[in-house]
Amino acid sequence: MQGYELRAQYYETDQMGIIHHSNYIRWFESARIWYMHQVGADYREMEEMGILSPVLEVSCTYRSMVHFDDVVEVVPKIEKYNGIRMELSYQILDRQAGEVRAVGRSSHCFLDREGRVCSLKKACPAYHEAFEKAVEVSRTVSSGNDKE
């Protein structure tokens, strides 16, 4: 699966002319929402059903700089999923050079409208199956394609 492509915007740069570190986390979130839609688990619909997925933890390791107007691809991948929690990894790749600019991880749980932890297997079996399938697909991808 192709990743989420974006062009680095001028307003995302810092005083040194590179993309400010906080924007990578935003890019992870945008890519995660896009990815969920791609695998058949639309986040907007999930929220409309009363299921939330807050971020429990997020991290980013910066390998090299992204500058204004660079085109990058954010490649999200579900690393762990058990119906209650989900962990994703991310790679930010420079589209022109093909180099990894940053890698990251995020951890999430699923909550109902009252803020109680819920199991997607029970609350939304279709999304549970979509995430399980996405995990299986990512496991079958050749490790030779990983750029990390």
CATH code of 89's domain: 3.10.129.10
Confirm whether 129 is domain-assigned: yes
Is the separation of the CB atoms in 61 and 104 below 8 Å? yes
- Distance (Å, rounded) from C-alpha 94 to C-alpha 84? 33
**Mean local confidence (pLDDT), 114-140:** 94
Q: What is the pLDDT of residues 51-74, one digit of tens each?
A: 999 999 999 999 999 999 999 999
Identified catalytic residue from 14, 70, 94, 146:
14
What pLDDT does 138 receive?
A: 84
What pLDDT does 145 receive?
A: 54
Counting the structural domains of the chain, the total is 1
What pLDDT does 2 receive?
A: 82
**Mean local confidence (pLDDT), 2-17:** 94
94 is catalytic: no
The model carries a pTM of 0.90
Confirm whether 121 is domain-assigned: yes
In which domain, by residue range, is 88 found?
Answer: 4-139
Confirm whether 148 is domain-assigned: no
